[in-house]
Amino acid sequence: MHRDRQALRRRALDLALWVLVCAPVLLNGDGYGPGRWAGSWLGSWWASAAGAALLGAAVAVGRRRPLAALVVALGLSAVHGSQLITPQYAVALVAFGFLAGRRSARARPALVLFAAVALAGLAVVLVLEQEPWSWFTLVAALLLAVVVPWLLGRFVRQYVELGAAGWRLADRMEREQRAVADRARLRERSRIAGDMHDSLGHELSLIALRAAALEVDRGLDERQRGAARELRQAAGDATARLRDIVGVLRGDDEGVPVTPRDEPVRALVERARTSGLAVTLHEEGEGDPLPEMAARAVHRIVQESLTNAAKHAPGAAVAVRVVRTSDEVAVTVTNDPAPSPSPAPAAPSGGTGLVGLHERARLAGGWLTHGPGSGDGFAVRARLPATAGASPAPPPAPTSAREWDLARRRVRRGLRQAIAVPVAAGVVLGVVMLGFDQYSRMRTVVHRADYDAVRVGDREEHVVARLPARALPDRPAGLPPEPRDADRCAYYRKDVLQDTPTFRFCFTDGRLSSKTVVRDVPNEEHRDG
Residues 224-245: what's their mean pLDDT?
76
Residue 149: asked if its preceding bond is cis (omega within 30°), the reply is: no
User: Which distant-in-sequence residues (6+ apart) come within 8 Å of 279 by Cβ?
Assistant: 269, 272, 273, 306, 309, 317, 318, 319, 320
Tell me if 54 sits within 8 A of 72, measured CB to CB.
yes
How many CB atoms neighbour CB 201 within 10 A?
18
The answer, yes or no, to whether residue 11 has pLDDT greater than 80, is: yes
Q: State the Cα–Cα distance between residues 70 and 72, nearest whole angstrom.
A: 5
Residues 295-303: what's their mean pLDDT?
88
Half-sphere exposure of 92 (CA within 13 A, CB side): 36
The answer, yes or no, to whether residue 440 has pLDDT greater than 80, is: no
Which sign does the torsion angle of CA 240, 245, 250, 255 carry? positive
Q: State the Cα–Cα distance between residues 527 and 512, nearest whole angstrom.
A: 13
Distance from chain centroid for Cα 304 = 27
Phi, psi of 274, rounded to the nearest 5 degrees: -65, -30
Residues 302-329: what's their mean pLDDT?
86
Among 297, 284, 304, CA closest to 367: 297
Which SS3 state, helix, strand or coil, does residue 116 take? helix
Rg (CA), the chain: 41
- pTM of the predicted model as reported, rounded to 2 decimal places: 0.49
Tell me if 68 sits within 8 A of 61, measured CB to CB.
yes
How many CB atoms neighbour CB 280 within 10 A?
11
- DSSP code of 314? T
Max avg pLDDT among 72-81, 212-221, 278-287 = 278-287
Residues 394-421: what's their mean pLDDT?
64
pLDDT at residue 523, as a whole number: 43
Among 200, 209, 202, CA closest to 228: 209
The answer, yes or no, to whether residue 400 has pLDDT greater than 80, is: no
Q: State the Cα–Cα distance between residues 265 and 284, nearest whole angstrom.
A: 13
The answer, yes or no, to whether residue 40 has pLDDT greater than 50, is: no
User: Which distant-in-sequence residues (6+ apart) come within 8 Å of 258 by Cβ?
Assistant: none
**Percent of the chain whose pLDDT exceeds 90:** 8
Tell me the pairing of strands 328-335 and 511-518.
unpaired
Containing 304, the helix (H) or strand (E) segment is helix 292-312
How far CA 162 is from CA of 166, 406, 484, in Å, comes to 6, 9, 72
